[in-house]
Every structure is written in C-alpha cells, then in structure tokens.
C-alpha cells in the first residue's frame, strides 16, 4: 500500500490538495537528501556513526493519534489499534488507515496544539548533545506525521527526519499522504543510498513495526519496548531516560564494537600521526 492507493480512497474533490501538500514534503526530503550527500563527503579520518530513532514512544513520550482521539471521544478505539500495530498484531498500514478514519474532521489548530503539547522523553536533549560530541548523524524515522516530527527535528537538532503527512482541507483533517510505510528501511535506503551500507548504524526503537530497522543496525537498542522487540535487541533499556542510550553507544564505541571513533578520539589520533 502506497501513496497512490491512499489517495484513491479520498474524495476526488480533495486530491489536488493532497498532492500539493505531499509534494511539499517530497521537496523537503530532497533538501534533506542534499544534506545527506554533504555528510557523505565529510570524511575526515573516521567513520560516521548513523543513529536512527523511532519518534513517538522514543524521542517523544507519547503518541500523537491517541492524543488526538481524546478530542473526539475515540481514545480507546485508536489506542487499541495503535497498540495492535506496535505489537505486530495488525497490518500497520491497515491500522493507520482505520485510525485516521476515526479522526477525520479534527481541525488543523487542534492537531497543531496537541502536537506541540507532547513532551520530549526525559534526557532527549542531553542525549543529542552527547551524540553530537561523538560526531554522529542523527536520524528520526516515523510512521507518524510531520506536524509533530518537524518540531522534533528543529527543537532537538536532528540531521534528518522522515515521516508522513496529514492532509487538511478547509482547516479539517481529511486524509494523509504515506511516505514512510511499515518497512522504515525503505525510505532510509532511498535517502542515504550507499552511505547507509558503509557506515555503522544504531537503531533505537520500541515497537514491532520498527523491527526492519534492526535488520540494518550494527547495534540494536530496545527502548521501553514491546517484548518481541526486546527478544531481538542487543541492548534493552527499560528506564525511560534517553541518556541511557548515549551512555550505551559511548560504551560500545570505546570498546571498539562499532568501528567508529568519536570526534575527540579521531583528532587525537590525527595529532599523534603528525
């Protein structure tokens, strides 16, 4: 199921609106890919570590759609569908379609206010600062929506974020455009190309719908995760504090398990060669 099939389910009167808005996100993705190319050229003696995060439930302490559902008295229905998707009990795309159908008609202002109100997980800013000192490329990939993830990118200072798009007409939610599907690696492979293959990668996730990310990761971190995710993880973090993630990554780097040097170590190595 892709963007075309989702648009076919929308009232024909709204299709131009959907394509216009979704096209803007494709343009934004193009700018992000330009930055990725610059990363690929910025090689100064050490490999670039790519750290990939799920957004809702990991970087954000909460979920957007269940929070929106409270506004229309659909919280239990949407929460149930959300949990079924996270646990792998329902096809993710089908679950998303059913959740959005329950939320149609909510205003843009209501969605924006809810997205702005969701808190960052404890330690998020400190974790990002520490990973920056290690010279990591920070990537968010979400099956959620840019109304939330754009804020996450700007306020945390991530390098790249990929997500989907809510579509509004006359200030009311009518549908969505799908860029990130249940296999989140697809958008990353498209965006990063061979950079994704050659650089060491860490994935920090919580749900069964994120497990494809574990298949490309050199270090798999389950963060307050579902049991099926913990079974496949290298490291399990049950404490809701993202500083534990940066501590774990730092320990793996110092132990030589990720094949990457932090910026300070790399500079020291270059100095010693002079």
Domain ranges of the chain: 3-273
Domain covering 3-273 in this structure, CATH number: 3.40.50.1000
Query: What letter would DSSP give residue 236?
Result: E
Q: Among all chains, which residue has been given the structure tokens 């957007």?
A: 64
Can you give the pTM of this predicted structure?
0.81
Q: Among all chains, which residue has been given the structure tokens 């993202």?
A: 242
Given a cut of 90, is residue 273 above it in pLDDT? no
Cβ(160)–Cβ(35) under 8 Å? yes
Helix (H) and strand (E) counts for the chain? Answer: 14, 7
Please state, for a pLDDT cut of 90, what percent of the chain lies above it.
69
- Please enumerate in sequence order all residues whose Cβ is within 8 A of that of 255, keeping only pairs 6 or more positions apart, or say none: none
Averaged pLDDT of the chain: 84
- Please enumerate in sequence order all residues whose Cβ is within 8 A of that of 221, keeping only pairs 6 or more positions apart, or say none: 202, 203, 204, 205, 233, 234, 235, 236, 237, 245, 248
Tell me the pLDDT tens digit for each residue of 43-55.
444 468 999 999 9
Q: Between 260 and 161, whose confidence is greater?
A: 161
Given a cut of 70, is residue 142 above it in pLDDT? yes
- Look up residue 208 and give its two tokens: 């069964």
pLDDT score recorded for residue 1: 40
Q: Residue 271's pLDDT band (boundaries 50, 70, 90)? A: very low
pLDDT score recorded for residue 182: 87
Tell me the pLDDT tens digit for each residue of 5-17.
444 455 555 555 5
Highest mean pLDDT among 3-12, 29-38, 180-189, 229-238 belongs to 229-238
Tell me the pLDDT tens digit for each residue of 32-45.
444 444 444 444 44
């Amino acid at each position: 199921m892709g963007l075309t099939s989702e648009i076919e389910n929308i009232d024909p009167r709204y299709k131009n609106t959907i394509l216009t808005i979704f096209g803007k996100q494709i343009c934004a993705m193009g700018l992000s890919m330009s930055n990725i190319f610059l990363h690929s050229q910025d090689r100064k003696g050490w490999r670039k570590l790519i750290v990939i995060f799920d957004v809702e439930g990991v970087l954000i302490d909460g979920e957007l759609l269940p929070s929106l559902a409270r506004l229309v008295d659909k919280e239990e229905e949407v929460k149930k569908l959300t949990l079924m998707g996270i646990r792998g009990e329902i096809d993710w795309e089908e679950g998303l379609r059913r959740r959005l159908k329950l939320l149609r008609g909510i205003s843009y202002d209501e969605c924006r206010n809810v997205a702005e109100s969701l808190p960052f997980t404890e330690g998020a800013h400190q974790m990002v600062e520490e990973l920056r000192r290690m010279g990591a490329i920070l990537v968010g990939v979400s099956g959620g929506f840019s109304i939330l993830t754009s804020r996450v990118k700007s306020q945390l200072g991530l390098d790249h974020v990929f997500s989907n798009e809510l579509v509004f007409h006359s200030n009311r939610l009518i549908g969505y455009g799908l860029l990130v599907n249940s296999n989140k690696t697809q958008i990353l492979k498209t965006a990063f190309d061979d950079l994704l293959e050659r650089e060491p990668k860490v994935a920090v996730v919580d749900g069964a719908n994120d497990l494809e990310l574990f298949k490309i990761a050199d270090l798999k971190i389950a963060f307050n995760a579902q049991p099926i995710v913990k079974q496949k993880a290298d490291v399990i973090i049950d404490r809701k504090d993202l500083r534990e993630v940066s501590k774990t990554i730092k320990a793996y780097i110092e132990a030589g398990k990720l094949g990457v040097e932090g910026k300070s170590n790399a500079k020291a190595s270059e100095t010693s060669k002079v």
